[in-house]
């Protein structure tokens, strides 16, 4: 029988008695997140260097989710909220994405699932279960990592973004809008780009509304929020029942939170790429249904 000293001996980094391909999942996460980060950074700074072409930000009724809401632009397009960039605006930050991407990025960066994913893939903390780490101590989420505690506030911003992206998906139903006219006066058409933006909103909503923090927000502070007659619920049986129903809905999404996270991450990048390709004439945006 092995002694206690032998069992507790610190192994070298990566040593393990596991015989499965434990390294495959961290590797896939590392590659997947790295590709998204590289593409996202490229699309964020691209308008700074190619401002005259609007850098594939929009195409008629389509607006890339990387730039939605479009607060400022180089030209007074229909999607823009405040108009063109002021003359005093520094050239190095003349990208609409810089103004808004910090919010969805903050939601992903502080997400409970993504923490586990990039802690393991990028920082090897831990690499995998029963696999030796590159460090002996465990500091937890202290120091700079305390910013993870603001996740619930990024969730509130994420819900607001779902509303704004839904509006842009609805706008993508109306085409050939005359200059200066409301978007709903255009021709009602369902194009491939419309479906892409709608699918993007659907997946982002599934990820956002399955958030752990939302589940805690709805189901917290109750000893038995599913029991209408529990005196600790204040006697409001109808309110408790509604709250319990919401909690069950969020829980169903939360069970597959990682799946929603990856599919929505891929889709938001593809939606941006689609709008970019259509805007520069590489891909045609076919009409599916015209009313």
Domain extents for the chain?
19-290
pLDDT of residue 243: 75
User: How far is Cα 48 from Cα 89, in angstroms, rounded to an integer?
Assistant: 12
Position with higher pLDDT, 134 vs 47: 47
The model's pTM: 0.86
Q: Quick one: angle between helices 24-49 and 257-279, nearest 10?
A: 30
- Write the DSSP assignment of 83-143 as a string of letters: -BPPTTS-GGG--HHHHHTHHHHHHHHH-HHHHHHHHHHHH-TTSSTT---S-S----S-G
pLDDT classification of 8: cutoffs 50, 70, 90: very low
- Residue predicted with more confidence, 144 or 194: 194
Q: What is the mean pLDDT of residues 82-109?
A: 91
pLDDT at 231: 54
Mean pLDDT of 42-47: 91
Q: Give 54-78 pLDDT, tens digit per residue.
A: 778 999 999 999 999 999 988 888 8
Q: What is the pLDDT of residue 13?
A: 61
The predicted-structure confidence for 221-237, as pLDDT tens digits, reads as follows: 666 655 655 555 555 55
């Amino acid at each position: 029988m092995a002694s206690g000293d032998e069992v507790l001996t610190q192994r070298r980094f990566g040593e393990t008695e596991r015989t499965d391909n434990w390294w495959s999942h961290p590797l896939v996460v590392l590659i997947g997140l790295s590709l998204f980060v590289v593409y996202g950074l490229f699309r964020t700074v691209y308008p700074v260097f190619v401002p005259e072409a609007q850098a594939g930000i929009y195409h008629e009724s389509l607006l890339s989710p990387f730039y939605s809401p479009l607060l400022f632009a180089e030209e007074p397009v229909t999607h823009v909220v405040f108009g063109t960039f002021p003359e005093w605006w520094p050239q190095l930050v003349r990208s609409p994405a810089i103004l808004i991407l910090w919010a969805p990025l903050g939601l992903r960066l502080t997400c409970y699932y993504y923490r586990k994913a990039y802690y393991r893939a990028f920082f090897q903390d831990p690499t995998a279960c029963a696999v030796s780490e590159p460090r002996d101590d465990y500091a937890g989420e202290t120091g700079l990592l305390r910013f993870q505690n603001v996740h619930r506030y990024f969730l509130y911003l994420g819900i607001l973004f779902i509303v704004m992206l839904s509006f842009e998906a609805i706008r993508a139903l109306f085409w050939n809008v005359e200059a200066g006219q409301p978007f709903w006066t255009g021709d009602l058409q369902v194009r491939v780009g419309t479906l892409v933006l709608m699918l993007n909103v659907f997946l982002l909503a599934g990820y956002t509304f399955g958030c752990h923090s939302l589940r805690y927000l709805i189901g917290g502070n109750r000893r038995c929020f599913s029991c209408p007659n529990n005196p600790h619920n204040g006697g409001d049986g109808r309110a408790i029942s509604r709250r319990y129903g919401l909690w069950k809905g969020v829980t169903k999404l939360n069970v597959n939170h990682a799946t929603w996270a990856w599919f929505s991450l891929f889709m938001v990048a593809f939606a941006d790429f689609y709008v970019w390709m259509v805007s520069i004439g590489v891909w045609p945006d076919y009409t599916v249904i015209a009313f």
